[in-house]
Amino acid sequence: MWSQTIRRLSTSALTRVRHPKLRRSTHYATLTDKDVSFFERLLSSGRTITNPDECLPFNIDYIKS
C-alpha cells in the first residue's frame, strides 16, 4: 500500500511547475549545507536523506491542488 501511495504522489506536478510566477516570501529561509550538517550530527547515521532524487516522492503539496 505504501509503495502505491508513493507512486501516486510522485506523479503530481510540483507547485513551482504548476504556478511558475508564484514566488516564495523572503521571510522564509532556504536550506543550506549548514542546516544539513546540523541534522546529520543530530540524527543517527543513515537517518538523513541528502540525495535530492530520493526526496522527490515526498516533495509535493499535501492536497495535490
pLDDT grade for 38, boundaries at 50, 70 and 90: very high
Spans of all domains in the chain: 2-58
Q: What is the dihedral of CA 36, 39, 41, 45, to 10 degrees?
A: -100
Among the ranges given (1-5, 25-29, 51-55), the one the predictor scored with the smallest mean pLDDT: 1-5
For the chain, give the number of residues. Answer: 65
Q: What is the pLDDT of residue 23?
A: 83
Cα–Cα distance, 19 to 65 (Å, whole number) = 11
Residue 58 backbone zone (phi > 0: left; psi -120 to 50: alpha; other: beta)? alpha
Q: Could you give the CA distance from residue 2 to residue 16 in angstroms, rounded to a whole number?
A: 25
Grid cell 547515521 — which residue? 45
Amino acid, single-letter form, for residue 46: G
Tell me what the pLDDT averaged over the chain comes to. 79
